[in-house]
Amino acid sequence: MPNPGEGAPESVPATRPLVLYVDDDAGNLAAARLLLEDRYELLEAENDEEACTCLKREGQRIDMILMDIQLKRSHLDGVGLVKLIRGTLDRAGLPGYTLDVPVLATPVIFLTAYGRLYPSDELFRAGGADVVVKPVDFIKLSNAMARYLTQKALSRLG
């Protein structure tokens, strides 16, 4: 008599997309965690130094970045961080923790309460893929995230 499960295919654990969320507001990070953690593996950073550490550690594994623009206790704001990630920021005079941050083409969605201070075209030129206004409408954010992750998956197939 065969053992139960014998000959059954091995289950492969499903991997969730890895998302780096950079925001200086712990409340925003907590809300995102509650609303996104069931579908995404979240890395959280509250300032540019923590973000650089995550980027150096996880680099190419990161599927998407959610980036707040105003980052208190940071040398770089979100726009500067995205330019760093895109390789378009002059690194002269930057803190040492910005060294060795990989250049990535990972989609970046800017999250901002200061939309009037940062025109969308400026954010797109910096390397952003989309802009979601705070307070974040998580349905809009989820739709944007799904759209970019679908595009990424399709580009891997073709």
pLDDT per residue over 16-69, tens digit each? Answer: 999 999 999 988 888 888 888 899 999 999 999 999 999 999 999 999 999 999
**Residue-number span of the structural domain to which 31 is assigned:** 18-157
Number of domains composing the chain: 1
Residue 9 maps to a domain: no
d(Cα 98, Cα 84) in Å, to the nearest integer? 8
Residue 10 maps to a domain: no
The percent of residues in the chain predicted with pLDDT above 70, rounded, is 90
Residue 51 maps to a domain: yes
Q: 3-class DSSP state for residue 134? A: coil
Residue 90 maps to a domain: yes
* Confidence band of 78 (pLDDT split at 50, 70, 90): very high
Residue 133 maps to a domain: yes
Task: Give the CATH number of the domain where residue 102 resides.
Answer: 3.40.50.2300
pTM, two decimal places: 0.86
Are the CB atoms for 22 and 66 separated by under 8 Å? yes
- Please give the pLDDT value at position 33: 87
